[in-house]
Structure 1
Amino acid sequence: MIDTARTRIEVMSSKHASDMLAYELENREHLAPWSPLRTDEFYTIDNWLSLCKNSESAFEKGSEVKFVALDKDAGEIVGVCNFTGIVRGVFQACFLGYSISRKFEGQGYMTEILEASIGYMFDIVGLNRIMANYIPHNVASERVLFKLGFEKEGVARKYLKIAGQWEDHILTSKLNERT
């Protein structure tokens, strides 16, 4: 568990399944422009129980870390961040993905959550590099990444199919300057 000024960050586990479902349902429209197309199955408790169990297993194996950030006062999910595709050996890197609830957007929560989570990935997990990619017109995501010290590395054309369309992405990374 990681504490920030306003949140408690936990590894996503089975205990979060119903809250994650509520988060996704409440933010369905808000997150749609930045997400793959979702089937109705995505928005079921069975799916979220499975995803949360997979998160626990992946954490134990060291292949990914999915965090849920909870508001310290209300206990509701503020946002999530995922460090996936962890590669060890000479690479020591992963990919970062994240989302924030519409009601907490624009208040500095995502920066606060990511700053603490990235610190964990560098200091505890021991990674050297975290890569994050964003759609060029997602200016909020761009602003958060650059505020956190990510640097632009290039552009990947038709990188991911988001909201039913192949979207170009700006490629960025942040290096662990402590190593």
Structure 2
Amino acid sequence: MRRVLQILGTAALRSRIGIALVLVIVVLAVVGVARVFSGPEDVRTGAVGPVDTSTATSAAAPKEGDDGVVEPSPESSTALDPGPSLSPGARRPETVAEAFAGDWLDRTAKADAWYEALLINSTPTLAAKLKGVDPVVVPADRLTGPATVVPRGSGLVEVSYPVDSGTLLLRLVVGEGRWLVDGVDWERG
């Protein structure tokens, strides 16, 4: 009887180890398949999925003791370094942002006319995202203050405007030899 219990105990231990190994293999297979189908991971931001590096530049890694918050210096908002890819006579980013913001806030325009007006100052990527949007859904009616321009790198700036319902945030990049709006966001005030 003792011999039978030893054999059963060993068999039970083997089956537990076997089950644990099978579970580990299943978990590793699921994680591997998920990574294959999710696309590459952007190690700069931790974002998973396709990464569009054609429209933005990454900032340098923060130094020790740096909290990562970028604050514009007084001279940075007046003396932007647009990078070497701007065409001579290209409009400044704040001028492009103001024109785009004025068109974006025109909620009374017909959808087609609104979209056409935004195309002038948009990247093709943003234009594709705005296709079919009804201007009625724009969450603001008017600008309520001046722009704040924050350089984020050579050829990349963020422009924010206070609006009647919060803050309009625009990301501008250098494309086609001029500044173009590549991202639109809004924060509730």
TM range (shorter): under 0.3
Structure number having the greater strand percentage? 1
User: Highest CA radius of gyration, 1 or 2?
Assistant: 2
TM-score (structure 1 length as normaliser): 0.26
